[in-house]
A and B are shown apart, each in its own frame.
Chain A
Amino acid sequence: MNKLKSAVMYECSTKIKAIGLFYLIEYLIVALIFAIVAIFTNGKDTGSNILEISTVIFVSVIGVLGYKEDFKALIQNGYTRKYIFTATVCMFIFMCASMALIDTVIGNTIHYFNNNYFTLYGILYGYDNPFLNWLWLTVFYLSFCSLFYLAVLIINKVGKRASLFISIVLGGVIVIIIALFRFVFSSETVHNIAEFSMKAMGFMPDGTKNVLFPVISFLIAGAALEIASYTIIRRTELK
């Protein structure tokens, strides 16, 4: 366990500086925008909303770097792929939970003082439960981390040319799915799928909202992506 703890600590501590820099730069820019917009609108507008999107981009980048940098460093130090994968997942959870906490606190505080600022969670589910806000954001970030981690593992495994081919195929699949929904599936099937998707995101047919459903949905998606990542990383070789 000590070995795993060291690997987790290594992965987390090498990201803390980057997270600090990210928030420093982000909120400096946001403060500047807020100030300029406040001057020109007499404080009626904020000029910026849903700052969580920039965190999504950041955690996605970390998802990529989680493989590129840490895999090399840990394999140099004799770690097995199983340990490296476990340490990376722990780091993702730590990072996403911490950033979700910061974003929840700051987002809700800004919204409290200025109703014209909206958070992503607030727009979708309201502002009445900060804990669920944090939990939802954590699993939301986690699924993006996992997605990009899987993507970089696939690219590393199959090479650039094959990755390009896969992305073209994926694009094609999306076009086919859209066509299936528009021209092939019956309206009842489309309605059922839409209803299921809405439920998965917590929007019930009776108009109520259940935040635990999207939390579970993102958890399942994240877990599926991580399982896929593990099946790849366990056969990944150093290049």
Chain B
Amino acid sequence: MSTIQIKNVTKRYKDITALDNISISFEFGKIYGFLGRNGAGKSTLINIIVNRIFADQGEVLIDDIPAKENMRVQEKIFCMSATDLYDGDLKVKDHYKWTNRFYDNFDLKKAYTLSEKFNLDTNKKFKGLSKGYQSIFKLIIALSLNVPYIIFDEPVLGLDANHRELFYSLLLKEFENGKKTFIIATHLIEEVSNIIEEIVLIDEGKILLQESVESLLEKGYSVSGLAGDVDRYCENRNVIGFDELGSLKIAYVLGEKTALPQGSNLRISAMNLQKVFVKMTEKGGW
């Protein structure tokens, strides 16, 4: 089966449970948004998937192959991490050369073409690059690798708006050209909301939801009006959060939209992905 399966994964650090019996799967051929607040457990789970740290319990399977300490998955998955793991003293072009040797499916020519597009000087040492260009270098490596699963952990860290746009367009082009799975862990939710197909929301080491962006936005809406009216409307509904301003109140609801009673002063509006994220993680679950 072409998936990344995470089965009952738990990870503890002393008395903190970073991941609490997590079970999810990332199917092949989709772009996922892996969202969560700082310390929610995103990086911990990513690091377990790519064998950088170990789960205390549970297992990760990549196309049914156990991912833990297994070279058979090396050509299946790549993680572009926010942390710098590359040798700072090596030049960009040397990193390309070595990546080309480490992987059977690295497109060296493409890496140089992308470097030109991003104006990345391949003769510079990694440590000599600005934070933004270090991210660009890592993005280029990820985009030039022809592996089925690519994880981006905070991919646009330090990138200016133009480079971010360029990255998103290249990512989509890459996705159209050959089916791959992209998992994007980011805080810039609105930026990726037009790209991602499915969202995985993690909070306090637990998966809050895994759902397609389309259906989530379809059933997420806000109701605003006088506090009393809003409260009455919200009875028996799945409310994920409130905002209040004087006597006015906004309720954020997940579920089927029902018509407002005639003569009602309430107003229903669509809710964007960022709002859903903020309200769900504020509450900590539904």
Write the chain B residue with the least CB distance to A17.
B89
Stretch of A1-9, A55-63, A165-173, A195-203 with 4 or more beta carbons under 8 angstroms from chain B: A1-9
Q: Is A204 engaged at the interface, CB distance under 8 Å to the other chain? A: no
Quick one: which of A14, A75, A83 contacts B87, CB cutoff 8 A?
Answer: A14
Q: Is the CB of B52 within 8 A of A9?
A: no
Which residues 78-107 of B sit at the A interface, judged by CB distance below 8 A? Answer: 78-79, 81, 85-87, 89-90, 98-99, 101-103
Q: Is the CB of A72 within 8 A of B85?
A: yes
Interface size on A, residues (CB 8 A): 22
**Chain B residues with CB under 8 A of A72:** 85-86
**Chain B residues with CB under 8 A of A20:** none
Stretch of B24-32, B68-76, B273-281 with 4 or more beta carbons under 8 angstroms from chain A: B68-76
Quick one: which of A3, A76, A237 contacts B53, CB cutoff 8 A?
Answer: A237
In the complex the two chains form, what is the Cα distance from A130 to B89 in whole Å? 36
- A interface secondary structure, majority: helix
In the complex the two chains form, what is the Cα distance from A96 to B210 in whole Å? 53
Indicate whether A75 sits within 8 Å of B69 (C-beta atoms), given known contacts A10-B101, A14-B90. Answer: no
Write the chain A residue with the least CB distance to B104.
A2
Interface bin, chain B: 20 to 34
Which residues 66-80 of A sit at the B interface, judged by CB distance below 8 A? Answer: 69, 72-73, 75-80
In the complex the two chains form, what is the Cα distance from A90 to B226 in whole Å? 73
Q: Is the CB of B52 within 8 A of A80?
A: no
Q: Is the CB of B73 within 8 A of A78?
A: yes
B-side residues, CB < 8 A to A, are: 47, 50-54, 69-71, 73-75, 77-79, 81, 85-87, 89-90, 98-99, 101-103
- Contacts A14-B87, A75-B52 aside, 15 further interface pairs with beta carbons under 8 A come to A6-B98, A10-B102, A14-B90, A75-B85, A76-B81, A77-B74, A78-B51, A78-B71, A78-B78, A79-B74, A79-B102, A80-B51, A81-B69, A83-B71, A237-B52
Interchain residue pairs with CB less than 8 A apart (14): A3-B71, A3-B102, A7-B102, A10-B101, A72-B86, A73-B85, A75-B51, A77-B98, A77-B103, A78-B71, A78-B74, A78-B77, A79-B74, A238-B53
A-side residues, CB < 8 A to B, are: 3, 6-7, 9-10, 14, 69, 72-73, 75-83, 234-235, 237-238
